[in-house]
Amino acid sequence: MAELRHSASMGSRASSSPAKRDAAAIPLTFDRHRDHPSGDYDDDDPRRDRDRDPLRFLPPSLRSLIHLDDARALASSHSRILAVLGLILCVAALVSLPSLWSRLTAPYLCTKDGIVLRCPFVKEPPSLWENPHSATTSWKPCAERQENEISDLPPENETSGYIFIHAEGGLNQQRIAICNAVAVAKIMNATLILPVLKQDQIWKDQTKFEDIFDVDHFIEYLKYDVHIVRDIPDWFLDKTELFTSIRRTVKNIPKYAPAQFYIDNVLPRIKEKKIMALKPFVDRLGYDNVPAEINRLRCRVNYHALKFLPEIEEMANLLASRMRNRTGSSNPYMALHLRFEKGMVGLSFCDFVGTREEKAMMAAYRQKEWPRRYKNGSHLWELALQKRKEGRCPLEPGEVAVILRAMGYPKETQIYVASGQVYGGQNRMAPLRNMFP
């Protein structure tokens, strides 16, 4: 009896330990090992799945109902997902259909019939001829001289000296050079001699400043900004020295030079010699590195001081009117400056499609006009490929035509070519004429 009581008390104390309490709290594990001597079920034993089912304590009828609802819900969710995916695919197809159709009927997709290109008719969108910056129409000019504006211009005999420039290139480059010349004269407080339009090696044009612009208006409009004289002063006897003598020429001006460069490097020589020529003078003044009032002065020269002669303005208005009314109604037109003359092609040092004879003639032309850059010509092929990849080569007429068609301009667009003799003649112009007859 004593042994029995001792063993019973030991059993009760053991059951009060944490490990024993945990074992007692999990009767399923105890029952499973008790019922199955091996301590585990076979893989095909149905009791294995039954013991894992968390709903096994519910009545059989309720368990079957719950499982049935789960199956129906799963099937319903699958059908909903498939329906949503199908709807998304349909919407994507509808959205991409117009884009696909526009690509198939694009205006630049033309078929070649011999040497003639047959392009589909397309109605041009009105936005092609609209001003993309419509907000700028409300802007007001600010470069005009105000009536109450005070001039700080000293008398002519108190200026630093005289500067003389050659305006090189075409009319557009000459216009920029004239604006820069007035600005440089203002920076150095110098008197500007009326610029000379240098004869271009391509155009062979001997037109003078006074043959294009109104000189009286030019000088009068800028009289409160810069002193301008028509000709070289009489006290300077050897006038040809300005064109030939290196002692009277400043040639080390970098492109887009800041205003401070002229003050530090050019102004001392003008004060010493009293009159100096600046050449070359193409793009020899920057924009972001000069004072704001200097840029404002350049705008004043460009938009107000430089005025064409009355007969030139009258002829320009007449030509524009004829181009607009060529078809009997007021239609928009395009003035296209191809910039594909022989001089531009040669100066670009780019490679273009042509016969061996054409390439040999162009190589001889480049060697004659630009011998320092040409050297022996061996390095030019890689340079031409690099410039072509970087988009720094002039566009051929055929390439311009493809770009215009891709932008949406139809073949009925009126195009007037504003350029000199196109390099390659009619053969080069054929693709442009075929796309825009």
Supply the pLDDT for residue 291: 92
Same domain, residue pair 250 and 372: no
Domain presence at residue 127: no
Supply the pLDDT for residue 348: 87
How many angstroms separate the Cα of 381 from the Cα of each of 168, 384, 406? 29, 5, 30
0.85 exceeded by pTM: no
Same domain, residue pair 238 and 301: yes
Q: How far is CA 298 from the centre of its chain?
A: 25
Supply the pLDDT for residue 18: 41
End-to-end CA distance of the chain: 127
**Residue 149 DSSP one-character state:** P
> Is 276 in a helix, a strand, or coil?
strand
Same domain, residue pair 180 and 241: yes
Domain presence at residue 180: yes
Domain end, chosen from 274, 307, 340, is at 307
Nearest to 283 by CA among 390, 160, 196, 184: 184
Same domain, residue pair 282 and 326: no
Kindly report the CATH number assigned to the domain that includes residue 194.
Answer: 3.40.50.11340
Same domain, residue pair 183 and 295: yes
Helix (H) or strand (E) holding 55: none
Same domain, residue pair 226 and 354: no
Cβ contact 177:195 at 8 Å: yes
Site of tokens 């054929």: 430
pLDDT in tens, 129-173: 776 666 666 777 777 776 666 677 877 778 899 999 988 888 888
Domain presence at residue 196: yes
What is the C-alpha to C-alpha distance for residues 191 and 355, in angstroms, rounded to an integer?
Answer: 52
Residue 414: φ, ψ to 5°: -80, 120
Q: For the chain, how many structural domains are there in total?
A: 3
> Is 39 in a helix, a strand, or coil?
coil
* 181 CB burial (10 A radius; 0-12, 13-18, 19+): buried
Cβ contact 122:129 at 8 Å: no
At residue 93's C-alpha, the angle toward residues 92 and 98, to 5°, is 105
Same domain, residue pair 295 and 163: yes
Nearest to 303 by CA among 132, 166, 178, 137: 178
Q: For residue 9, what are its two tokens?
A: 């008390």
Same domain, residue pair 327 and 422: yes
Cβ contact 186:297 at 8 Å: yes
Cis amide prior to 280 (ω within 30 degrees): yes
Nearest to 354 by CA among 369, 340, 334, 367: 340
What is the C-alpha to C-alpha distance for residues 182 and 198, in angstroms, rounded to an integer?
Answer: 17
| Close Cβ partners of 209 (under 8 Å, ≥ 6 residues apart) | 167, 194, 195, 196, 197, 215
Domain presence at residue 190: yes
Supply the pLDDT for residue 21: 42
* 153 CB burial (10 A radius; 0-12, 13-18, 19+): middle
Q: For residue 170, what are its two tokens?
A: 């075409």
Same domain, residue pair 91 and 59: yes
Domain end, chosen from 307, 331, 352, is at 307
Same domain, residue pair 269 and 319: no
Cβ contact 118:411 at 8 Å: no
Bridge partners (DSSP) listed for residue 218: none
Give the residue ranges of the chain where pLDDT is below 70.
1-78, 100-127, 131-137, 146-150, 199-204, 327-331, 377-379
Domain presence at residue 291: yes
Same domain, residue pair 215 and 81: no
Q: Which domain holds residue 392?
A: 312-435
Domain end, chosen from 47, 62, 95, is at 95
Domain presence at residue 144: no
Helix (H), strand (E) counts: the chain? 19, 10
Cβ contact 331:324 at 8 Å: yes
Domain presence at residue 111: no
| Close Cβ partners of 189 (under 8 Å, ≥ 6 residues apart) | 154, 159, 160
Domain presence at residue 6: no
Same domain, residue pair 227 and 248: yes
Read out DSSP for 82-122? HHHHHHHHHHHHHHHHHHHHHHHT-TT--EEETTEEE----
> Is 184 in a helix, a strand, or coil?
helix
Cβ contact 143:296 at 8 Å: yes
